[in-house]
Amino acid sequence: MASRALHITQSVFSNICRFLLALVFLFSGISKAIDPHGTEYKIGDYLASFGLSGYFPDFFPLILGMILAVVEFYVGLCLLFGMNRRIASWASLLIMCVMTPLTLYIAVTDSVTDCGCFGDILVLTNWQTFAKNIILLLAAIVLFRWHHYKVVRLIGQNTQWLISLYGLVFIFLLEVFCLYFLPVADFTVYRNGTNVLQGMEIPEGAEAPEFESIFVMEKNGVKKEFTLENYPDSTWNYVETITTQTKKGYIPPIHDFVLQDVATGEEKTQELLGREGFTFLLVAYNLSKAEQGAFDQINELYDYCLKNSYDFVALTASDEDAIAKWKYETGAVYPFWNADGTMLKTLVRSNPGLVLMKNGTIINKWSRNDLPTEDLTDRLEQLPIDRSDETQESRLGALVILFLVMPLLLIMLLDRVWAGFKWIGKLRKRSKIANLLKKRKNEKENRSRKLEDE
C-alpha cells in the first residue's frame, strides 16, 4: 500500500514539473520567435560580455536565436503532450544545466541588463532570472529522474508525429514572417501608441537619474570623446554615441532618446517631439548593413512628404563616411540625425525601417520589406494609417489561439475520436470472440449430452 502511494506521489509530482517546464519553454520559444532581431541583439550582448563577438560572423547571433526558439518551443511541445518523454527530459535538463550557471554569472557581473529569456514581453532582473532557473532546474531534475512514472500522454503515439510536424512548421513560419516584416506583437517601449515625451517623464516626487551622452568623434585617425557642451566642429567625424547613467534614481521607460543633427551638431530631441502633425523617421542604425533594395521606395516616400508638406528625417548611429556613402548611392537629400544604436534597434526591428509619428506619438511602423509607398494614395489625414490603438497582448493572444491552440486542439480531438472508434472496434471484436467461444462451448456441451444420451 505504501509503495502504491509513493508511486502515485511520484507520478503527480513529475507531471506538475513537466507542465511547469512545458509552459515556460513554450512561452520562451514564442517570445523569441516573434522578435528574431531582438533575440539576435541580446545574444550579441552575451557574446560581447564574454569578449567573443569577434570570433563569430555577423549572422551567427540571428541564426543561433532562431534555432534556440525552435528548440525551446519543440521541447515545450513534447513536454506538454507527453511525446518523446525520454528525449524531452534529457533536453530540458541539458538546457537548464547550461542556462542556470550562465544566468548566475550574468547576475554576479551585471554585464547584461536582462537575460532576454522572454524578449520584451516579460523583462526580469538578472537575479530574478537566476531564481527562476533554479526552480526550473529542480523541476528538470525531477522530470529526468521520474519521467517514466506515468507521465500522462495527451496524444496517441501514432499521431504525435502530426503534432511535432505542425508545431515545427508553425514556429519556423512565425520566425520567418516576423523577420521579413516586423514582430506580430510589439512589446518594446516604442510600441505603436507610445508618446515618447510622456515615456521620458519622471513621476512627481521621484528622484530623477542623470545620464550623460558621450559622442565619440574621429579626426586624422584619432578618436576623442565629447559632450554637447564641447561638441567639435564639422572637421570631426561622428563615430558613435555612448549613453551612461551618472546618478541613480527612477529610470523612465524611455531614457536614451537623444537626437543630434549631423550637419550642425544641434540637439534635436525636443524639436522632434514638439512637432505637430506627421513626421516620417527613416531608421537605420547601421547604414553600411542596411538593405539596399529599398532605395527607390525610400526616395518615393521622401517625394511624397515634400509634396504634402510632411517632415522626413533619417536617424542613424553611423558615422559621417557611411552617411556620405548612403547619400551618394541613393541620392538622398533629406536630413540625417545621429542617435544611440541600441535605441534605434529598439525603435524598429528593421534596418532600415520606417516609423510614423504624430504630435510626438508613434502611430505606425514598417519593415524595409513592407514600405507603404503603394498605400499612400492620398494625404495621411484621409488614410486608415493610425495603428496606435492596437493592444499588443490581444494581437499575440489571437495569433496563438488561432494558429497554434486551435489546430492542436483539433488534432487532439480527431486523435481521441479515432482512439474512441478503435476502442469501440476492439470491444466489438472482443464481443464477437466471446460470443463465438460461447457458441462453440454450447455446441460442445450439446454434443457431449447427445453422446451421453446415446
pLDDT in tens, the chain (454 residues): 567 777 778 888 889 999 999 999 999 999 999 999 999 999 998 898 888 888 899 899 999 999 999 999 999 999 999 999 899 999 999 999 999 999 999 999 888 888 888 989 999 989 999 999 999 999 999 999 886 766 788 888 888 999 999 999 999 999 999 999 999 999 999 999 999 999 998 887 777 777 777 888 888 888 888 877 777 777 787 777 777 767 777 788 998 899 999 888 889 999 999 999 999 999 999 999 888 788 899 999 999 999 999 999 999 999 888 999 999 999 999 999 999 999 999 999 999 999 999 999 999 999 999 999 999 999 999 999 999 888 888 888 888 989 999 999 999 999 888 877 777 777 677 767 767 777 777 777 777 766 666 5
Domain that holds residue 86: 2-180
Same domain, 218 and 151: no
Same domain, 255 and 124: no
Same domain, 75 and 102: yes
pLDDT for position 341 = 92
- Cis before 335? omega within 30: no
The Cα 350–Cα 131 span in angstroms is 33
pLDDT for position 149 = 64
Query: Residue type for 411, please?
Result: I
> How many CB atoms lie under 10 A from the CB of residue 5?
9
* Nine-digit cell string for 120: 520584451
Cα distances from 234 to residues 95, 134, 218, 334, 349, in angstroms, run: 51, 53, 11, 18, 31
Same domain, 229 and 372: yes
* Nine-digit cell string for 183: 514582430
Q: Which of 309, 304, 301 is nearest to 283 (CA)?
A: 301
Q: Which runs of consecutive H residues, i.e. helices, occur in 218-354?
A: 269-273, 295-308, 320-330, 341-347
Cα distances from 423 to residues 301, 416, 417, 427, 430, in angstroms, run: 64, 10, 10, 6, 10
Global confidence as pTM: 0.85
pLDDT for position 223 = 84
The Cα 59–Cα 43 span in angstroms is 11
Task: Tell me whether residue 408 is in a domain.
Answer: no
CB 81 within 8 A of CB 15: no
Same domain, 267 and 307: yes
pLDDT for position 1 = 57
The Cα 381–Cα 95 span in angstroms is 51
Same domain, 233 and 158: no
The secondary structure of 216-237 as a DSSP string is: EEEETTEEEEE-STT---TTSE
Q: What is the dihedral of CA 243, 246, 250, 255, to 10 degrees?
A: -10
Task: Tell me whether residue 46 is in a domain.
Answer: yes
Total number of domains constituting the chain: 2
Contacts of 265 (CB under 8 A, 6+ apart): 231, 232, 234
Same domain, 270 and 163: no
Residue at which a domain ends, from 352, 374, 389: 389
Which residues in 352-399 belong to E strands, given as ranges? 353-358, 361-367
Report angle CA 175, 179, 181 to the nearest 5 degrees: 120
Task: Tell me whether residue 397 is in a domain.
Answer: no
Pairing of strands 260-261, 237-247: unpaired
Same domain, 165 and 201: no
Same domain, 214 and 343: yes
The Cα 193–Cα 361 span in angstroms is 6
> How many CB atoms lie under 10 A from the CB of residue 197?
17
Q: What is the DSSP letter of 155?
A: S
Same domain, 106 and 63: yes
Q: Which of 76, 91, 67 is nearest to 23 (CA)?
A: 76
Task: Tell me whether residue 406 is in a domain.
Answer: no
Same domain, 335 and 363: yes
CATH number at residue 263: 3.40.30.10
Task: Tell me whether residue 447 is in a domain.
Answer: no
CB 120 within 8 A of CB 69: no
CB 166 within 8 A of CB 407: yes
Same domain, 134 and 281: no
